[in-house]
Amino acid sequence: MKVFLMYPDRYFNLEDKLPPNEKEIVQDLEINTLIDAMAWGDEFLWEVAKKTILGGCYGDDNLEVILFRQNILKDCINNASVIKEIYQLVVDTIQKRREYFLGYFNRFPSSIVYSSVEFLNMLTGMLRKMKNIADLYADQFQSEGFRRFFTMLKEELEENYLDKIQGHLNELRFNNGVLISAQLGKGNEGTSYILRKFPRKKKWFQQIWSEKMPVYSFQISPRDEIGCRVLGEIKDRGLNLVANSLAQSADHIYSFITVLRLELAFYLGCLNLHQKLQEINTPITFPKPVDSGQRKHSFVGLYDIVLALTMHKKVVGNSLKMDNKNHVIITGANQGGKSTFLRSIGLAQLMMQCGMFVPAESFTANICEGIFTHFKKEEDVTMESGKFDEELKRMNLIVHHLTPNSMVLLNESFSATNEREGSEIAIQVLKALLEKGIKVFFVTHLYEFASNYYNNRREDIIFLRAEREENGKRTFRMIEGEPLPTSFGKDLYEKIFVGKEKTELEKLKC
Amino acid sequence: MTFQSILFKEKEDRLAEKSLQELDFFIDLNLDQIVAAITTGKEEYNLKPFFYNPLSRLSAIQYRQEIMQDLEKEDLFQNITTFAHKMRRMRQHFSLLEKLDYLYHREGWFLETVAIYCEAVSSLEQDVIQAEIHSPGFLSFKNYLSDYVNSDYFTTLVNETRKLKKELSQVRYCLQLKGLKVQVRKYAGESDYSTEIEKTFAKFKQQDAKDYSVELLPRTGMSHVEAQILRLVAKIYPELFKSLIDYYHKYQNFLDERIVLFDREVQFYISFLEFMSRFKKSGLSFCYPQITRKTKELYSKQSFDLALANKLLKENSTVICNDFFLKGQERIFVVTGPNQGGKTTFARTFGQLHYLSSLGCPIPGSSAKLFLFERIFTHFEKKEDIKELRGKLEDALMRIHSILEQATPNSIIIMNEIYSSTTIQDALFLAQRTMEKIIQLDILCVCVTFIDELASFSEKIVSMVAAVDPQDHTLRTYKIERRPADGRAYAISLAKKYQLTYDCLKERIKL
């Protein structure tokens, strides 16, 4: 019984490797806020969501997987209550396991048999419930993944089969005693004790023993403690294999349950997130991914989902139409929403690549085989030269893992040195990335670099500028525009310093 | 030549085996440590007496050297080791038998014991036939073994053992256990319930399953309940169990004495080769020395103290090798030089090499020619014994006197720091007198001393000096070089190091 809901042809694996730049990307894109909104405090959902979203960093979850998940997610959104019921059933079963768990530590096969039989009884009950749900709701599901899942439940858990299991479980209580075969090992000591099935219909001693097959017997005294222990041991040796089979079977069914939980958890997280976004009435859309060989990046109303979740309200979205272009260079006013924009680009790409909906009115982009971030580290307190060194070291690591068709998000990179040097390095790095076909979004204040690129006018580069109205007010929108020699830091200075002076003056007046 | 023993060519050689204890010089030469290291883990063979009895005949030494060289070959060594493991297991089984009480149980284990023995001997014979063997000793054993394995007695033993084991292993029976009642009968093909259960649940199988089978340790011995079951099984197969009882009585003395002796004695070689391989792995060489009594012109190249090397290897330190030779009239090494410079080690090495040679063992070094001695005498400075009424010097004199009384031209004498507990004039005088005696007897001798004058005392004396690093005189190289004694040069450099030279002291001590 295989449950493939995350991939068309394989299991989702929590042990799968995280991308090498996990730490940076989680921090730079503030992914934990997104994951929190999916997990609702549930550790397991959190873990799965994190793994899945970061799995989006690897573009190897190709088009097929993305669309496979999108369809399942659509089914989930349309049948949220059924999905939640199944998930609850699974979670309840997993919790109940603890009641039977003690027996598994037992050193005696006979007690392993006992606790496994009880546990299997419980699991069989759960399977019946699961099958009933399948019978009731299967028709409402459209996706390939769910149709296959429900068909499997119906086929594999036929009434007959469930009854057969029940029959075995009853027999394994051994009301007629146990029948064990053996042979002679070294020193004529009994060995290879194997549990045998009592022949059906006639009892075996009636049937065979009458035909001149001698039967010898003896009985031990109830006071013979050693004798009783030895008999118990022989029984244990006979039951060892079946104890193993039963415990493994219980494990297998249990693992079917845990796999189901694992395969469903991501979608549960998406449902949770969906509900949150509905509360603040902000749009979502299922993106249209295109092959990684193409260059496409177009969207309407793309907003920073992390910002929306944090502020718990709708936030400004941006639109862009960009075909056959590789580089986006973003300049413009401080506090103008450049970082937010950059983050929304990264998050949307990740969400698309792991099969989720994205925070936009519409969204299409080519798949990137790797997503990397290189953000200025504000908290770095080392000396300037050390800081620049650190910056280049991180860049070196990114380049180490870079494949063609990757995407790199640069936020004020190479700014830990003077502008001339920073620009020179930026020019050289960007030139190489451009030639290698790497998609780059670069937020920068390096005017020398930006203007150099702008003046050379390349078809495959787009220049965006954070919008600033005449009065210095920011709209948090990115508009196409040439880089300007100032980033309007003066505005900020005035807002903070001059503003403060004013209030202090007013205070003095009082 | 009928095969007698893998260790002794002639019966007389064995008769010479009389010492059951360490010889006097064992501790001085650290031979006690070497023998302990060699025999550790082989206590059951009681190998130490073999190491306490040097051989006095060249032919006896050669007999062992050749066998040792055969056993140095990886294949044969492995064959013997395998054989030894099996024989050990056989002995363990055998000693267990007398503790068994239940009918058919004891006989069953007896059968098992004989089976191990038969297998061990047969495969050894097969292996030895294919092995490349040159030594007369091992060839003789090979013939003996082949004759034994092909004898009527042994072939019948093997066949009867095999037949009985096969028939017993084919016995199948069923137990029905309910409450306190046990029923026993023949097995009649009932199906395996575990497999059926496994099949039923197969569709849930995911990835790899955890193993829940409990490790039920084999019981030692048999309980009365199992014995009772076994008696009932015997009732189901009466002829088979009767032939087991007959077999048990017929083959009570199944072991061949000479093979049992071989199993013990061959461990002398095995234990030494195992010990030796540790050093070879570290790049140190061993060789079979040429042994002679005709001349006292000796040499050894790349030799080292085996006891020290054993310690150094454990600490991952480097082992320093040394060469020496005596030619013409030279008989005596006088070793001088700094403390901790390897003087005593050199003296011990000289003794160890000779002693190990006399056992027929390979010795540390790349090549060597050594003397077939009659006795080794050592005199190493001992700690003062408070119960001893005599003083240290007197004691030393008594001992050396006694050595010189017993020594013959075929002896070896090794002396370490004699007469150190008296004035230098006295020491020089006494040492010269002792040397004169030794020279007169034409004895091979190593003498470690602080008295430089001894080194140039006679033409029979070779001066050996513990070397120091030419750049830094406080560093020892542990090389023992053949050159005139120059002990004082070293003292100055050491004084400088501790700022005890004249100039230093003048500076340091201020009025």
Reported as a single tens digit per residue, the pLDDT across B365-421 is 999 999 999 999 999 876 544 444 455 677 778 888 889 999 999 999 999 877 766
Count of CA atoms in the C-beta half-sphere (13 A) of A31: 27
Retrieve residue A125's tokens: 């009950």
- pLDDT for the residue numbered B505: 43
- Cβ burial of B59 (10 Å; 0-12, 13-18, 19+) is exposed
Domain B282-510 fold is: Rossmann fold (3.40.50)
Continuous H helices in A40-102 = 43-55, 63-78, 80-101
**Measured between beta carbons, which residues in chain A are less than 8 angstroms from residue B181?**
217-219
- Cβ burial of A434 (10 Å; 0-12, 13-18, 19+) is middle
Please indicate if any CB of chain A lies within 8 Å of the CB of B209.
yes
∠ CA A449-A450-A452, rounded to 5°: 65
Retrieve residue A7's tokens: 């991939």
Which of A108, A196, A252 lies nearest to residue B205, judging by beta carbons? A252
> Is residue A369 a contact partner of residue A58, using CB atoms and an 8 Å limit?
yes
pLDDT, greater one: B111 or B384 = B111
Identify the CA nearest to B50 among candidates B2, B8, B84: B8
- Cβ partners under 8 Å of residue A273, min gap 6: A34, A37, A38, A356
Rounded CA-CA distance B36/B155 in Å is 40
Length of chain B as a residue count: 511
Interface test with A, best of B110, B112, B176, B228 (most A CBs within 10 A): B176
Question: In degrees to the nearest 10, what's the CA dihedral of B208, B210, B211, B212?
Answer: -140
**Measured between beta carbons, which residues in chain A are less than 8 angstroms from residue B105?**
187-189
- Cβ burial of A497 (10 Å; 0-12, 13-18, 19+) is exposed
Q: Give, in order, the Cα–Cα distances in Å from B511 to each of B495, B496, B499, B500, B501.
A: 22, 22, 18, 17, 18
**Measured between beta carbons, which residues in chain B are less than 8 angstroms from residue A248?**
198, 201, 209-210, 212
The answer, as to whether pTM is greater than 0.90, is no
∠ CA B293-B297-B303, rounded to 5°: 100
Rounded CA-CA distance A385/A169 in Å is 72
Continuous H helices in B212-251 = 224-236, 238-250
Q: Give, in order, the Cα–Cα distances in Å from B352 to each of B30, B34, B337, B403, B410.
A: 8, 9, 21, 19, 16
| CB contact residues (below 8 A), chain A span 135-194, against chain B | 156, 164-165, 168, 172, 176-184, 186-190, 194
Count of CA atoms in the C-beta half-sphere (13 A) of A83: 23
∠ CA A416-A419-A423, rounded to 5°: 95
Length of chain A as a residue count: 510
Which of A164, A188, A241 lies nearest to residue B200, judging by beta carbons? A164
Query: How confident is the prediction along chain A (510 residues), in pLDDT tens digits per residue?
Result: 788 999 999 899 888 888 888 888 999 999 999 999 999 999 999 999 999 999 888 766 589 999 999 999 999 999 999 999 999 999 999 988 877 765 555 678 888 888 889 889 899 989 999 988 988 999 999 999 999 999 998 888 888 888 888 888 988 888 888 999 999 998 899 888 999 988 765 555 555 555 567 889 999 998 999 899 889 889 998 898 888 888 888 888 888 899 999 999 999 999 999 999 999 999 999 999 999 888 999 999 999 999 999 999 999 899 999 888 888 999 877 667 888 999 999 999 999 999 999 999 999 999 998 899 988 775 444 434 445 666 777 888 888 888 888 899 999 887 766 566 677 777 777 877 887 788 999 998 888 788 888 887 777 888 888 887 777 677 788 888 888 766 454 454 455 445 555 565 566 655
Please indicate if any CB of chain A lies within 8 Å of the CB of B425.
no
Retrieve residue A179's tokens: 């029948």
Q: Give, in order, the Cα–Cα distances in Å from B220 to each of A141, A362, A423, B58, B172.
A: 63, 76, 82, 51, 22
Q: How far is A492 from chain B (nearest CA, A)?
A: 60
Query: Scanning every residue of chain A, which has its alpha carbon at the shortest distance from the alpha carbon of B93?
Result: A187
Over its C-alpha atoms, chain B yields an Rg (Å, rounded) of 33
Q: Give, in order, the Cα–Cα distances in Å from B350 to each of A2, B365, B464, B486.
A: 76, 11, 13, 22
Retrieve residue A256's tokens: 């079917």
∠ CA A46-A50-A53, rounded to 5°: 135
**Measured between beta carbons, which residues in chain B are less than 8 angstroms from residue A237?**
216
> How many CB atoms lie under 10 A from the CB of residue B400?
22
> DSSP states of A132-149 as a string?
HHHHHHGGG--SHHHHHH
**Band of residue B325 on the pLDDT scale cut at 50, 70, 90:** very high
Rounded CA-CA distance A22/A20 in Å is 6
| Residues A133-148 as b or e (16 or more Cβ within 10 Å = b) | ebeebbeebebebbeb
Sheet containing B172-178: order of strands: A190-196, A178-184, B172-178, B181-186, A216-219
Pairing of strands B461-468, A327-332: unpaired
Please indicate if any CB of chain A lies within 8 Å of the CB of B210.
yes
- pLDDT for the residue numbered A436: 79
Pairing of strands A318-323, A296-302: antiparallel
Range B225-243 average pLDDT: 94
> Is residue B418 a contact partner of residue B434, using CB atoms and an 8 Å limit?
yes
Domain parsing of chain B, residue ranges:
55-188+224-273, 282-510
Please tell me whether residue B109 adopts helix, strand or coil conformation: helix
| CB contact residues (below 8 A), chain B span 229-288, against chain A | 229-230, 232-233, 235-236
> Is residue B477 a contact partner of residue B467, using CB atoms and an 8 Å limit?
yes
Can you list the pairs that A217-225 forms with residues at least 24 positions away whose Cβ atoms lie under 8 Å? A217/B181, A217/B182, A217/B183, A217/B184, A217/B232, A218/B181, A218/B182, A218/B228, A218/B232, A219/B180, A219/B181, A219/B182, A220/B180, A220/B182, A220/B225, A221/B180, A222/B180
Retrieve residue A209's tokens: 């023993």
- pLDDT for the residue numbered B45: 94
| CB contact residues (below 8 A), chain A span 243-262, against chain B | 243-249, 251-253, 255-256, 259
Lowest mean pLDDT among A14-28, A142-156, B1-15, B464-478: B464-478
Reported as a single tens digit per residue, the pLDDT across A247-288 is 888 888 888 899 999 999 999 999 999 999 999 999 999 999
Reported as a single tens digit per residue, the pLDDT across B260-277 is 999 999 999 999 999 999
pLDDT, greater one: B420 or B213 = B213
Rounded CA-CA distance B220/B212 in Å is 24
> DSSP states of B422-454 as a string?
S-HHHHHHHHHHHHHHHHHHT-EEEEE-S-GGG
Rounded CA-CA distance A498/A491 in Å is 10
Residue A104 per-residue DSSP state: G
∠ CA A371-A374-A379, rounded to 5°: 135
> Is residue A332 a contact partner of residue A409, using CB atoms and an 8 Å limit?
no
Q: Give, in order, the Cα–Cα distances in Å from A242 to each of A168, A475, B196, B199.
A: 12, 71, 9, 12
Sheet containing A296-302: order of strands: A288-290, A362-366, A296-302, A318-323
**Measured between beta carbons, which residues in chain B are less than 8 angstroms from residue A231?**
177, 180, 182, 225
End-to-end CA distance of chain A: 79
| CB contact residues (below 8 A), chain B span 83-112, against chain A | 100, 104-105, 107-109, 112
Query: Scanning every residue of chain B, which has its alpha carbon at the shortest distance from the alpha carbon of A127?
Result: B204
> Is residue A297 a contact partner of residue A320, using CB atoms and an 8 Å limit?
yes
**Measured between beta carbons, which residues in chain A are less than 8 angstroms from residue B219?**
189, 233
Range B57-77 average pLDDT: 95
